[in-house]
Homo-oligomer: A and B are copies of this chain.
Amino acid sequence: MICYDLPASPNARRVRIFIAEKGLEIPTVAVDMAKGENKTAEYLAKNSLGKMPLLELDDGTFISESHAICRYLEEIHPEPPLMGTSPVERAQVEMWNRRIELEILLPLLNVFIHTHEMWKGVHTQIPEWGDICREKTLTSLAWLDGEIAGRDYIANDTYTIADITAQCAIVMGKAVGIRVPEELENVSAWFARVAARPTARA
């Protein structure tokens, strides 16, 4: 297997942490987006959307989309489980992962795309939309704080992919000046907990 990686991307980081938590060693190839390496005919033949991360299997099959890659790895390397261990648990981990994606990661990505210097000239920026997404992110973090009161991790009492998605989102938030407000004690304690894991900087 080969994993095509984009070092600074929160989505690629999700997959890297997942791989590290599984204790797997998968060779990675960094694709330099700034140099347009993701838009070459060669790369587009692997993933027509030109996105990373992308997993290439030994038989030449390609799997894109972070969560789909993680699902595949979870199935072929079930230990330690990061997506739940029963139908109900798996559904709830997926529910939480999607909630984090839709309520936090996606708005944050929009703040980044619509307000960060890096995207000037690359994408039409609508700062007003970026501001709405910034406010939405903060509202969502406050909502999450209430939701996780009394538990150590986001979906249940063990570390799962929902935590990985949330921690990668929060790391990206720093790039646009969004940090977990101190008064959100549950999210702050949770973030300290996950950031201390040996895999957090994968």
Contacts and interface: CB of A to CB of B under 8 A. Distances in A.
A29 interface: no
A141 B147 CA distance: 38
Closest 9 CB pairs of A and B: A72-B91, A68-B95, A75-B87, A68-B94, A65-B98, A65-B95, A129-B129, A63-B91, A68-B91
Contacts of A65: 94-95, 98-99, 102
Contacts of A102: 65
A69 interface: yes
How many protomers of this protein does the assembly include?
A: 2
Interface of A: 48-49, 57, 61, 63-65, 67-69, 71-72, 75-76, 87-88, 90-92, 94-95, 98-99, 102-103, 124, 126, 128-129, 132, 143, 146-147
A92 B76 contact: no
A103 B49 contact: yes
Contacts of A94: 65, 67-68, 71
B87 A76 contact: yes
B71 A90 contact: yes
Interface centre among A64, A68, A92 (most CB of B within 10 A): A68
